[in-house]
Amino acid sequence: MQKNLIRAILVLAAISSVFLFYNKIKVNQPKIEIVEEVNESKNRLPHDFLTFYDNFHEDSTFQMSRIVFPLIGVVQEGDSILALVEMQWLKADWKIHKPFNNYNGTFERIFINTRGIISETITGNEGMFSLEKRYSKLAGEWHLIYYQGIVMHR
């Protein structure tokens, strides 16, 4: 039991390190390639969302202008027992998100359009870790409205 806990902590630390370095390394980024459709064709990603999404991750000023602060979401906290805790990110504390990089298949990204709310889920280590972002149109422009930090799944 204790070995599994130590192993899980080490894996979490390794993945966290990857995400920290992810923000510092700029490599050729693949464009949006994974889209999961829900129900019918109108749930596809809107063309203007794709343009917004690319700009959001390539221009830090644009990104900051398109986040609803305080941004609501959740993070995972705890030592031996991990629990989801509600969180509000403030503009002053926000870390700029860079374009998606799958790191040679280590990470997978899925988009789901549910009645105009686009959910982006990024998973790593075969589903062991994930994060989620949700986007919605407000006053005719796309904005990030929700963020779930990295969560470890058992």
Split into its structural domains, the chain has a count of 1
Sheet holding 117-124, edge to edge: 35-36, 107-114, 117-124, 129-138, 141-152, 67-77, 83-89
pLDDT in tens, the chain (154 residues): 555 545 545 444 444 444 444 444 334 444 444 444 444 444 589 999 999 999 999 999 999 999 999 999 998 887 667 788 899 999 999 999 999 998 888 899 999 999 999 999 999 978 889 999 999 999 999 999 999 998 888 7
Q: What CATH number corresponds to the domain at position 95?
A: 3.10.450
Which residue range(s) make up the domain with 86? 2-152
User: Which pTM value belongs to this model?
Assistant: 0.71
